[in-house]
Amino acid sequence: MGSNKGASEEAIQYHYDLGNSFYAAWLDESMTYSAALWPDDESETVTLMSAQEAKLDHHIDFVKLAEGDRLLDVGCGWGALILRAVERKNLSSALGLTLSKQQNQWISERSRDNRVKSKLCAWQDLNNEEPFSAIISIGAIEHFAKPEMNTDEKMRCYDDFFRFCYENLKDGGRLSIQSITWMNMAPSQEADSSPVHIFPESNLPQVLEIIRSADKYFHLLNYSNRPNDYSKTLREWMKNIRKNESNMIRDYDKEDIQRYLSGFASFILGFRTGMIGLSRLGLLKR
């Protein structure tokens, strides 16, 4: 399979290991750090927590988990998905992979359910004996390729990932993915536009790069592009940061807080102008 060619452990930790209390100050109660799923009817009022649960349920329901199944979450964050999947579907186990020490520690300290486990491990290094019933990966594929890679090099990284998923899924197993993706962006301009100031060593995939890389191993069953889901989530996070900023400044540098606010604002602009989108893909093992 080869070693990790994307963002290094150090780059992941630079972003995600700023401190669990930093993220707790502005994420919802489940500590879900990815785009929520908001109602299409904008007049319908839902909380950030409810919209995050709707997103988690979207992925859990697509992969058709049943009682006793085993789930793998690649890039599990603070564990919201694996905790909810075990609770909703009575799974035998749910394993989350992360390169963030703080996320791994958060899950191990807070999970009272021995069916929920996290591992400080790149997916390339996972030694897995028994195939999983389903695999979900939310907001991780953005870190699999580096800004300096050309299209062919990026495609090889994504191919490695889909081969890994294929080899570690039972027959008929499903894979659900969520990722920020380039839209109106020529591959030659990606390196200059990559969000490296907030996500070091990371580049976004083009939608067709994902679909073509997956095609050898999976049938594409569902695809959606809902950039407004991420814009609205980012606005909620920014509102929470501003509300809690005076408390956050006691423990964190103002520069770090500002880096997130300006990074989120630039992402909102990218979603609004059509430079980037929010892709959700539902795949079935060939």
pLDDT of residue 183: 94
Query: Which domains are seen in the chain, by residue range?
Result: 9-15+50-227+275-285 (3.40.50.150)
**What does the pLDDT read at residue 196?**
53
Distance CA(10)–CA(26), nearest Å, equals 24
Contact between residue 190 and residue 180 where contact means Cβ atoms under 8 Å apart = no
3-state SS, residue 2:
coil
Measure the CA–CA gap between 271 and 109, rounded to whole angstroms: 36
- The tokens for 254 are 């103002």
Tell me if residue 101 falls in helix, strand or coil. helix
Give 37-54 as a 3 state SS string: CCCCCCCCCCCHHHHHHH
Integer Cα distance of 123 and 227 in angstroms:
27
pLDDT in tens for each of the 286 residues of the chain?
446 565 455 655 555 568 899 999 999 999 999 999 999 998 889 999 999 999 999 999 999 999 999 999 999 999 999 999 999 999 999 999 999 999 999 999 888 899 999 999 999 999 999 999 999 999 999 999 988 899 999 999 999 999 999 999 999 999 999 999 999 888 888 877 766 566 667 799 999 999 999 999 999 999 999 999 999 999 999 999 999 999 999 999 899 899 999 999 999 999 999 999 999 999 999 9
Q: How far apart are CA 226 and CA 250, in angstroms?
A: 36
pLDDT at 246: 94
Q: What is the pLDDT of residue 1?
A: 45
| Contacts with 188 (C-beta within 8 Å, 6 or more apart), sequence order | none
pTM above 0.85, yes or no: yes
Residue ranges in the chain assigned as alpha helix (H): 9-16, 20-24, 48-62, 80-89, 101-110, 151-167, 190-193, 207-215, 227-248, 254-273
Q: What is the pLDDT of residue 19?
A: 85
Per-residue confidence (pLDDT) for residue 186, from 0 to 100: 83
d(CA 73, CA 135): 6
Q: Report DSSP state, residue 70.
A: E
Q: Bridge partners of 46? A: none
